[in-house]
Amino acid sequence: MCNTYAMNVSVSPFSGSKYHENADRAFSRNFFRGGRLIEKPSEEPCCICGKGIKDLSKALSAEVYHGGEFVPADVEADNTDAGYMGWYYIGPECAKLAKSAGAKVRRTK
Protein backbone atom coordinates (compact mmCIF):
# COMPACT_ATOMS: atom_id res chain seq x y z
CA MET A 1 0.00 0.00 0.00
CA CYS A 2 1.31 3.43 -0.93
CA ASN A 3 1.97 5.72 2.01
CA THR A 4 2.03 9.02 0.04
CA TYR A 5 -1.26 9.96 1.69
CA ALA A 6 0.54 10.64 4.96
CA MET A 7 2.75 13.24 3.27
CA ASN A 8 -0.27 15.23 2.04
CA VAL A 9 -2.45 15.17 5.15
CA SER A 10 -2.99 18.49 6.86
CA VAL A 11 -4.79 16.99 9.85
CA SER A 12 -4.14 13.95 12.02
CA PRO A 13 -6.19 12.12 14.63
CA PHE A 14 -5.76 13.28 18.23
CA SER A 15 -3.75 16.30 17.04
CA GLY A 16 -5.80 19.34 18.06
CA SER A 17 -3.89 21.87 20.14
CA LYS A 18 -6.23 21.27 23.09
CA TYR A 19 -7.22 17.68 22.29
CA HIS A 20 -6.27 16.20 25.67
CA GLU A 21 -7.76 19.06 27.68
CA ASN A 22 -11.05 18.94 25.73
CA ALA A 23 -11.24 15.13 25.77
CA ASP A 24 -10.64 15.04 29.53
CA ARG A 25 -13.45 17.56 29.98
CA ALA A 26 -15.82 15.52 27.76
CA PHE A 27 -14.97 12.28 29.58
CA SER A 28 -15.44 13.82 33.03
CA ARG A 29 -18.88 15.13 31.98
CA ASN A 30 -19.72 11.68 30.65
CA PHE A 31 -18.93 9.57 33.65
CA PHE A 32 -19.58 11.82 36.62
CA ARG A 33 -22.57 14.03 37.15
CA GLY A 34 -23.15 15.63 40.53
CA GLY A 35 -20.43 13.43 41.99
CA ARG A 36 -22.24 10.29 40.85
CA LEU A 37 -21.01 7.84 38.27
CA ILE A 38 -23.40 7.59 35.32
CA GLU A 39 -23.55 4.48 33.15
CA LYS A 40 -24.06 5.80 29.63
CA PRO A 41 -21.89 8.59 28.25
CA SER A 42 -23.84 11.55 26.90
CA GLU A 43 -20.88 12.83 24.88
CA GLU A 44 -17.89 11.35 23.14
CA PRO A 45 -14.79 13.40 22.29
CA CYS A 46 -14.06 14.36 18.69
CA CYS A 47 -10.99 12.43 17.48
CA ILE A 48 -9.28 15.63 16.27
CA CYS A 49 -10.10 18.45 18.68
CA GLY A 50 -11.40 16.44 21.67
CA LYS A 51 -14.53 18.56 22.13
CA GLY A 52 -17.61 16.64 23.22
CA ILE A 53 -20.09 15.53 20.55
CA LYS A 54 -23.49 16.03 22.10
CA ASP A 55 -25.85 14.36 19.60
CA LEU A 56 -24.42 10.88 18.99
CA SER A 57 -27.49 9.89 16.94
CA LYS A 58 -26.20 12.17 14.16
CA ALA A 59 -22.51 11.59 14.79
CA LEU A 60 -19.86 10.97 12.17
CA SER A 61 -16.87 8.65 12.49
CA ALA A 62 -13.43 8.58 10.91
CA GLU A 63 -11.32 5.46 10.43
CA VAL A 64 -7.79 5.41 11.88
CA TYR A 65 -4.92 3.04 11.07
CA HIS A 66 -1.11 2.81 11.04
CA GLY A 67 -1.13 3.65 14.73
CA GLY A 68 -2.56 7.15 14.22
CA GLU A 69 -3.31 8.15 10.61
CA PHE A 70 -6.68 8.66 8.97
CA VAL A 71 -7.56 6.01 6.40
CA PRO A 72 -7.87 7.60 2.93
CA ALA A 73 -11.38 7.50 1.45
CA ASP A 74 -10.28 5.22 -1.40
CA VAL A 75 -8.45 2.63 0.77
CA GLU A 76 -9.82 -0.48 2.46
CA ALA A 77 -7.95 -0.74 5.74
CA ASP A 78 -6.89 -4.14 7.02
CA ASN A 79 -8.61 -4.39 10.39
CA THR A 80 -6.39 -7.34 11.34
CA ASP A 81 -3.24 -5.21 11.04
CA ALA A 82 -1.55 -4.47 14.37
CA GLY A 83 -1.69 -0.70 13.67
CA TYR A 84 -5.43 -0.66 12.88
CA MET A 85 -7.23 1.50 15.44
CA GLY A 86 -10.84 1.44 14.19
CA TRP A 87 -13.51 4.11 13.89
CA TYR A 88 -13.59 7.21 16.13
CA TYR A 89 -16.23 9.87 16.59
CA ILE A 90 -15.50 13.13 14.78
CA GLY A 91 -17.29 16.47 15.14
CA PRO A 92 -18.95 18.13 12.13
CA GLU A 93 -16.34 20.88 11.64
CA CYS A 94 -13.43 18.48 12.06
CA ALA A 95 -15.16 16.02 9.70
CA LYS A 96 -15.15 18.69 6.97
CA LEU A 97 -11.45 19.24 7.55
CA ALA A 98 -10.69 15.50 7.50
CA LYS A 99 -12.79 14.94 4.35
CA SER A 100 -11.03 17.79 2.56
CA ALA A 101 -7.72 16.08 3.43
CA GLY A 102 -9.02 12.87 1.84
CA ALA A 103 -9.88 10.90 4.98
CA LYS A 104 -12.62 8.26 5.14
CA VAL A 105 -15.57 9.67 7.13
CA ARG A 106 -19.04 8.13 7.49
CA ARG A 107 -22.19 8.31 9.57
CA THR A 108 -21.77 6.32 12.76
CA LYS A 109 -23.68 3.07 12.70
- What is the rounded radius of gyration, in angstroms, for the C-alpha atoms of the chain? 15
- The CA distance from 51 to 53, in Å, is 7
pLDDT at position 21 is 87
State the Cα–Cα distance between residues 22 and 52, nearest whole angstrom: 7
CB 106 within 8 A of CB 61: yes
Q: Is the pLDDT of residue 52 over 80?
A: yes
Cα–Cα distance for residue pair 74/23, rounded to 1 Å: 29
- Residues of the chain with pLDDT > 90, as a percent, come to 49
Closest alpha carbon to 100 in 65, 64, 62:
62
When comparing pLDDT for 24 and 4, which is higher?
24
Q: What is the reported pLDDT for 2? A: 38
d(CA 93, CA 22): 15
Average pLDDT, the chain: 82
**Who's near 6: CB < 8 A, 6+ residues apart?**
66, 69
Per-residue confidence band for 64, with pLDDT thresholds at 50, 70 and 90: very high
Cβ contacts of 66 within 8 Å, gap of 6 or more: 3, 6, 83
Residue 78: per-residue pLDDT? 95
> What's the whole-number mean pLDDT along residues 29-50?
72
